[in-house]
Structure 1
Amino acid sequence: MVVTAELLRALRDMHHIDDLFQWLTPTIVQYFSAPVVQFWVATEGYQGQVLMKLVAQSAQDNSLRHRLTLDKPVADLAENIRNRQTELALCPVGNVFSSYQTTLLQRYGLYYCFGDYLNSKGRPASSSPTVPGQATLMPIEAVALLFFSQPPHPELQRSISYILKLAMQIAATNGLLSLPNNAQGYKLQLQQASLSALSELVPHRKQDAELMTTNNPLADPIIADRLTRDLYRYIDGRKNVQELCAVTHLGLKEVAVALRTLLAERRIELFDSSGQLKNGLSLLNNL
């Protein structure tokens, strides 16, 4: 198969599993005519919960990449597939998304979706002896999400699943599950991209928190951290994160810490400028 041969040739330039995912997304778009391809990886987030982090995405229409990157319903679907540890058979998007999200996806020409659960057992860093020169292998759980404008032929679906599972086997046997040598630089790049995306989001107070305060002001739980409490006072559903930084005279990273606390306590939600609910904890997990 052409894709398999190209994958084996491309391996020489890959150093980490993310390199593999970033190679696979445009390749699947090109060879299998999938309008959008995403790879989500399970990561440990704030307070130990598992979050799905988008590590690679390609689209036939580049404008779709930004629109789907932070969509919470898409992240929730990836998390659901990861929790069930099985594939999502090809189906209309209306079978797995709300009517609003379905209308939005169909507006982009995305009528069908398919998901595959991928895993590769490694050697967790916490349980690995430190041996000089020996790489630390990481267990990987990932979800591939593919969106289509028309249902692909069943043989095409089988080919995609075969390529994905073969890719994970290749990753394990070629050292792509080891921590990257430039982990610090990679992390800094991820942080910068996440901070840039976060700055444009608009925090909204959750309605149940507002109702609690309105009905009984004394019942509103006190926000322990002063910085977080001060930021919360300025959240009005209109100012984006960058504007909140300006009025509070806080840095973006300081505001990000406070927002993580408010999200974890279910006091706020994050929306983009068009009013779409976004997966804020996924972003903050990269900081």
Structure 2
Amino acid sequence: MNLLLRAVSAIYTVDELFQWLCYAFIEHFQIELIEFWTPLLTPARTSVLHLRTMLPRDPNLPEQITYNEQMLLIAQRLAFEQRPIQTFSIEMLFPPQQVSLLHQYACHYCLGGFMSSPVLLPAPPATPGPQEPLPFALTYLFFTSYPPQADLQHAITTLLRQAVGLATQRGLLLPLPTSPSATPGPNMTVPGTVLASMRTPGPGHQSQPVPLTALIPRRKEDAELLTSENPFARSAAISDKRARRLHAAIDGVQSIAELVHSTGMELADVLAALHILVKMRRVELVDPDGRPVSAERLFES
């Protein structure tokens, strides 16, 4: 922490801080490759995932191995699921040819995660298009040659949180506007994923995007079932196995992301099951404030 404090006092941009963090992690924890991905506002005013900082331990590591479509897809998945740090063997993430190339540079495991903070992240320097700051969201990938242990996961998340806190104090990250309507709220559109945002207007304010995985499924009784003379109509069979499993887990409290975790189902399976349950009028979706959202529009193809 003392080293971080001294470093931040001599740093003047958040990009310098990201670069310093990469050097520090590589030196102290023998990390082979680090990538930081953040949202970027395009000229069309949509937010896309952008590789903000990348640092390999071996400067000879070819960029085509570290910056490619597969890396983007992995970062998109982590940003979409918004889960805390996880450990993967790279065989779980990459096709065999890329696995072989990564092995040549001692990249055998990947720690990936997502973190956010109620502050604004300035646009990268020399960015074309709008230069507006966006809500802070960081997706990170750490590649190691050794199986990461829990203490490394803890060190990464702790140092990143401390760095964000110090960057906020120093003004490298910006405070959110006091007026909700002034807060940047572009749609997050990431090519090749289901990453969607629903807009749910609050009283007197412009609508703000709510990530799909933050929505909360809630059981819903159809009026026809409630008034049916058949006492078994309310428990009409849900033929799809995934939908039955998800319906049993829905408690009106857990978000989609939390249901993915608690059920052990893949996100794609949860979304497919929700689609079925919505069509059957067995569930509805609400935002974190309890406001209903249009689930039918959400699942339109």
Query: Closer, same or farther in 2 for the Cα pair 1:86/1:143, shift >3 Å?
Result: same
Matches within 5 A, 1:126-275: 138-178=134-174
Deviation at 1:23, TM superposition (A): 0.7
Deviation at 1:45, TM superposition (A): 2.9
The count of aligned residue pairs is 166
- Greater helix content: 1
Deviation at 1:137, TM superposition (A): 6.5
SS of match in other structure, 1:64: coil
RMSD: 2.4
Deviation at 1:139, TM superposition (A): 2.0
- Match status 1:9 vs 2:17: no
Deviation at 1:33, TM superposition (A): 0.8
Deviation at 1:52, TM superposition (A): 1.9
Deviation at 1:46, TM superposition (A): 5.3
- Match status 1:100 vs 2:100: no
Residues 42 and 51, structure 1, Cα contact 8 Å, conserved in 2: yes
Q: Could you tell me which amino acid in structure 1 is paired with residue 75 of structure 2?
A: A
Query: Any unmatched runs of 5+ in structure 1?
Result: 126-135, 180-287
- Match status 1:113 vs 2:103: no
Bigger relative contact order (CA 8 A; separation at least 6):
1
**Given the two structures, how large is their TM-score scaled by the length of structure 1?**
0.52
In 2, distance between residues paired with 1:81 and 1:63? Answer: 27
Residues 138 and 178, structure 1, Cα contact 8 Å, conserved in 2: no
Deviation at 1:121, TM superposition (A): 1.9
SS of match in other structure, 1:163: helix
Query: Closer, same or farther in 2 for the Cα pair 1:103/1:48, shift >3 Å?
Result: farther
Which residue of structure 2 aligns with residue 82 of structure 1? 79
Query: Any unmatched runs of 5+ in structure 2?
Result: 123-131, 176-301
In 2, distance between residues paired with 1:67 and 1:118? Answer: 26
Query: Closer, same or farther in 2 for the Cα pair 1:68/1:118, shift >3 Å?
Result: farther
Residues 109 and 143, structure 2, Cα contact 8 Å, conserved in 1: yes
Q: Percent identity?
A: 26
- Greater strand content: 2
Deviation at 1:147, TM superposition (A): 0.2
Q: Could you tell me which amino acid in structure 2 is paired with residue 110 of structure 1?
A: C
Which residue of structure 1 aligns with residue 27 of structure 2? 30
SS of match in other structure, 1:63: coil
Post-superposition Cα deviations, 1:217-247, rounded to whole Å, max 9, x if no partner, equal xxxxxxxxxxxxxxxxxxxxxxxxxxxxxxx
Query: Closer, same or farther in 2 for the Cα pair 1:121/1:75, shift >3 Å?
Result: same
Query: Closer, same or farther in 2 for the Cα pair 1:76/1:88, shift >3 Å?
Result: farther
Post-superposition Cα deviations, 1:48-79, rounded to whole Å, max 9, x if no partner, equal 44322222222221112634453221122112
Post-superposition Cα deviations, 1:155-203, rounded to whole Å, max 9, x if no partner, equal 1221121111221122222211149xxxxxxxxxxxxxxxxxxxxxxxx
Which residue of structure 2 aligns with residue 21 of structure 1? 18
**Given the two structures, how large is their TM-score scaled by the length of structure 2?**
0.50
Query: Closer, same or farther in 2 for the Cα pair 1:143/1:65, shift >3 Å?
Result: farther
Residues 44 and 51, structure 1, Cα contact 8 Å, conserved in 2: yes
